[in-house]
Amino acid sequence: MNSRNWVRLFFSTLLLGGISTAITGFIVRWDKYESLFSSMDVAGILLVLVLLFGVGLIFSIISQMGFFAYLTVHRFGLGIFRSVSLWNAVQVVLILFVLFDIVYFRYRFFAEPGASVIPYISIAVGILLVGALVAYAKKQQTNNEAFIPALFFMIVVTIIEWMPALQINDQNWLYLMLVPLLVCNAYQLLILPKLNAERQTKKS
């Protein structure tokens, strides 16, 4: 990918992160911000919008760091295992391990005595479903071998990027960070082949 496409990817993902965080923020904290809309407090709405957008820029940068880190790790994995099928098997094991951990350890450390484990499972299942949908789209876009790497990125890398909110364990922050990360990660994963295709077209 040339420098022009990298800059395009960087700023478009940055914008997407800011917008998705602003929208998510108003939804998850509607009980707090509803009064701003009911009273038509334009200045207050704009202030919150700017703050949420700024937070979203940070989430977007975290997402982009994770994306380029994964591209490097993926190449290392292919080089070490020297087999796509073996590297994919390792990724599947890591996906299952991380999904189990995100349920087990969050429930163990943060759940109240006697609390249901269902909310903790629900988040993991939600991430899995979103990851599977994006991975399927990636497979349709490229080839069948892209499914597992895309699923790994959408689940494992997203959860690693999500760690700051997981440590706080505040429900609002959990969703405020998770949604933009999923949006930005999916966008980068699906837009990269298009950018590379445009580059090849211009060369020819």
pTM passes above 0.75: yes
Q: For position 143, what pLDDT does the model report?
A: 87
Whether the per-residue pLDDT at 42 is higher than 90: the answer is no
Whether the per-residue pLDDT at 199 is higher than 70: the answer is no
Kindly report, residue by residue over 110-158, the tens digit of the pLDDT. Answer: 888 888 999 999 999 999 999 999 999 999 998 888 999 999 999 999 9
Q: Give the domain range for residue 134.
A: 3-203
Kindly report, residue by residue over 171-189, the tens digit of the pLDDT. Answer: 889 999 999 999 999 999 9
Say how many C-beta atoms besides its own lie within 10 A of residue 158's C-beta. Answer: 22
Please tell me the distance from the alpha carbon of residue 112 to that of residue 79, in angstroms, as a whole number. Answer: 45
Count, in order, helices (H) and strands (E) of the chain: 9, 0
Whether the per-residue pLDDT at 11 is higher than 70: the answer is yes
What tokens appear for 6 in the block?
A: 């990298």
Please tell me the distance from the alpha carbon of residue 41 to that of residue 32, in angstroms, as a whole number. Answer: 13
Q: For position 72, what pLDDT does the model report?
A: 92
Q: For position 171, what pLDDT does the model report?
A: 87
Report residue 35's pLDDT band, with 50, 70 and 90 as the boundaries: confident
Please tell me the distance from the alpha carbon of residue 30 to that of residue 127, in angstroms, as a whole number. Answer: 23
| 97-128 as b/e: b if 16+ CB within 10 A | ebbeebbeebbeeeeeeeeeeeebeebbeebe
Three-class SS of residue 170?
Answer: coil
Q: For position 99, what pLDDT does the model report?
A: 96
Structurally, how many domains does the chain consist of? 1
